[in-house]
Amino acid sequence: MGMRNPADVRTFAIVAHGGAGKTSLAEAMLFDTGAINRMGKVEDGTTTTDFTPEEQKRQISINTSVATLRHKGKTLFALDTPGFADFIGDVRSSMRVSDSAVVVVSGVHGVEVQTEKDWEFAEDFRIPVLFFVSKMDRENADFDRTVGELRKYLSEKAVPLFLPIGKEASFKGVVDVLSGKAFLYRGDGSKDFTEMDVPPEMADEVQSARESLVERIVEADDELMMRYLDGEQISTEELSKALRTAVAKRSLFPVFPGSSTANVGICQLLDVLVDVMPSPLDMPPREAQKNGETIQVKPGLDEPFSALCFKVMVDPYVGKLSFLRVFSGSLTSDQVLYNVNKGEEERISAFKFMKGKDGEDQKEIVCGDIVVIPKLHSTTVGDTLATKGTSFQFPPIQFPQPIYSVAVTPKSRADEDKLSNAIHRMREEDATLHFEKNPETGDNVLSGMGDVHLDIVLSKIKDRYGVELETGTPKVPYRETIKKPSKAQGKYKKQTGGRGQYGDAVIEFSPRERGSGFEFQDKVVGGVVPKSFIPAVEKGLREAMTKGVLAGFPTVDFTAALVFGSYHDVDSSEMAFKIAASMAFKKGIAEASPVLLEPIMNVEVVVPEEYLGDVMGDFNSRRGRIMGIDSRGRLQVVKAQVPLAEMFRYAIILRSMTSGRGSFTMSYSHYEEVPAEIAKKVIAAHKVEEEEEN
């Protein structure tokens, strides 16, 4: 058997707002290409690509699944991605490795929040897009209105390639605008259809749509444009060829109507994916880094083999599964795979083309393929895989930063022992998941893209690894500082028979600029404190400042100058001077007007204009300061500074406040003094906590 031709491969991501019908579309494609003999339903938990228990229970896609299809002699890799905002990391990684995207838009609801985010990713990666207007058989579905929204909100280059026959319950087929052929379906869910002439009542509509389509096609070809302007008739064959070029160049974004659950138009959509959408060989070279320089990795069989790991899953039976996209060359299963990032060889156990959870073994993989390799030892998401001797790496996949955090506490000692391994395994699968032990608060903080995301992660940790965790709101890492100078003596004198303990330190405390940290100064003259004990004074201060006098938070941004003291020839020791310094700290800081500081975050919220007032009003209620407002197309970008204490549940609140249309990012800015009335509550809460512990 000869090597497969990359020209016969199509790799595309199916993306959409949740509920628009991505998974149903993937299911209909699998059915119409004969990969399955019966169509499952999302609401029944029987679809091929939503196969995990969590997906079936919640009736949403949580992970990207691969549906490998074969149609008209071509191999199609459809990546069914999640539509819920909490799992946007999977969408981004899938679009990074795709040659095109099928953006599913509900004919009932039109362009929604996630549609816009998917479009942004397509723009980022410069990949061709086909818009599939779904649910055309539903009540209130409107193809023309949806096309209008696509052109208004996303791109004027969105042009119908097919038109619907009928509307809502009477939707029964599609018309190919370019060829003028109509395809009428039986409407019983089967893939059977009849090819016929355009219905007479649609003749004018089809002619008008064809003129608009042809104008867009010829714009991408100077020669055709000249002939078109000269009034020359251009053949359908020439237009079809130019259409493919125009789509690959992103000069045109075809729009296609259909219904996945009724299985109307899916056969024609598959034809379009094969005939119009690009193969790997139609795509520009991929950028990679080699010895600090950017190089171009060309697609093609005659190039060295290279691939990118874009996803890792853990199968309860098979173990670790690494999903790779092949960007160049070919490889057979008896060759050695080399992880360029880790500098390690990987043993290939098998190549698998996936159909949901099921894999079909392959002996070779070529440019464009999406392949799963079980049990790769060192490979993680973002790693470049190649043949040994390769030194270039593809840039890592940029994932969004977490926006929602919870503090997690193991329920038992056994849970505590297993926690580290469970978190490590979960992070291998999910690059948007972060975990850290906050050194200031002692919290184990688990962070992700939203409450549903973390809820599912915690459920997996319990079911897979037997680790039960209690959750709570993370503590705010407050700090303490001083506002005025003070001077204090710490004298430690202890006599218990035999050798005693003696240390005496007089220390001046003064405030420093915010963010400048702690500074120790030795201002002793005359040897009143021997040089050998001065480091002990500094060490005593550094240990004491980790627990401030107000509420036990670290004390920062002050100078401590050792100015005087005394010692005993026999009884003085490093320990005695450490204790003396600690005593001086507690006394001196208490007399230096100590105050509480809280972290202030830079927050950037992106919302449609109609929600701008709500967002700004909400920030005011959170003690936030609006720093500026910018426009980004039809969206408004609000920049603000808000205390971290007010932001822990903001991801949920913003989603509710904007019907899911708002998104935000957050990063640390600086520390500021806590208002007095809030500081009193924090200090009181700390005292209660301390009493309970005692």
CATH topology for the 286-386 domain: Elongation Factor Tu (Ef-tu); domain 3 (2.40.30)
Alpha-carbon span 650 to 605, nearest angstrom: 11
Whether 597-677 and 404-469 are alike in CATH topology: the answer is: yes
Alpha-carbon span 384 to 118, nearest angstrom: 25
pLDDT-derived band at 631, boundaries 50, 70, 90: confident
Alpha-carbon span 63 to 55, nearest angstrom: 8
- Closest C-alpha among 263, 86, 107 to residue 172: 263
Q: What is the pLDDT of residues 459-473, one digit of tens each?
A: 999 988 999 999 999
Give the per-residue pLDDT at 222.
87
Q: Residue 544, SS3?
A: helix
Q: CB-based burial of residue 496 (10 Å sphere; 0-12 exposed, 13-18 middle, 19+ buried)?
A: exposed
In the block, tokens 């700004």 appear at 616
* Predicted structure pTM score: 0.86
Q: What is the pLDDT of residues 80-139, one digit of tens each?
A: 999 888 899 999 999 999 999 999 999 999 998 889 889 999 999 999 999 999 999 999
- Closest C-alpha among 321, 298, 445, 317 to residue 377: 321
Please give the share of the chain, as a percent, with pLDDT higher than 70.
99
Q: Tell me the average pLDDT across 189-196.
A: 92
Position with higher pLDDT, 496 vs 308: 308
Domain ranges of the chain: 6-174+252-282, 286-386, 404-469, 479-592, 597-677
Alpha-carbon span 508 to 558, nearest angstrom: 10
- Give the architecture (CATH level 2) of 6-174+252-282: 3-Layer(aba) Sandwich (3.40)
Q: Tell me the average pLDDT across 555-560.
A: 97
Cα Rg of the chain, angstroms: 32
Give the per-residue pLDDT at 130.
98
Alpha-carbon span 652 to 379, nearest angstrom: 34
**Average pLDDT of the chain to the nearest whole number:** 93
For domain 479-592, the question of CATH label 3.30.230.10 is answered with: yes
Q: What is the pLDDT of residues 220-243, one digit of tens each?
A: 888 899 998 888 888 999 999 999
Asked whether residue 326 carries a pLDDT value surpassing 70, the answer given is yes
Alpha-carbon span 304 to 279, nearest angstrom: 18
Q: Tell me the average pLDDT across 204-231.
A: 92
Class of domain 404-469: alpha beta
How far from 650 is each of 402, 405, 454, CA to CA, in Å?
Answer: 12, 10, 15
Residue 351 CA, chain-centre distance (Å), reads 27
pLDDT-derived band at 8, boundaries 50, 70, 90: very high
Alpha-carbon span 686 to 694, nearest angstrom: 12
- Closest C-alpha among 615, 657, 664, 659 to residue 112: 659
- Closest C-alpha among 211, 283, 292, 294 to residue 248: 283
Q: Tell me the average pLDDT across 443-461.
A: 92
Q: What is the pLDDT of residues 571-620, one digit of tens each?
A: 899 999 999 999 999 999 999 999 999 999 999 998 888 999 999 999 99
Alpha-carbon span 431 to 445, nearest angstrom: 16
Give the per-residue pLDDT at 295.
94
- Closest C-alpha among 412, 408, 401 to residue 473: 408
- b/e per residue 213-222 (b: at least 16 CB within 10 A): bbebbbbbbe
Q: Residue 32, SS3?
A: helix
Give the per-residue pLDDT at 291.
87
pLDDT-derived band at 260, boundaries 50, 70, 90: very high
Specify whether the CB–CB gap between 121 and 92 falls below 8 A.
yes
Class of domain 597-677: alpha beta
Give the per-residue pLDDT at 1.
42
Q: Tell me the average pLDDT across 469-491.
A: 95
Asked whether residue 262 carries a pLDDT value surpassing 80, the answer given is yes
Q: CB-based burial of residue 38 (10 Å sphere; 0-12 exposed, 13-18 middle, 19+ buried)?
A: exposed
pLDDT-derived band at 2, boundaries 50, 70, 90: low
- Closest C-alpha among 277, 195, 212, 281 to residue 243: 277
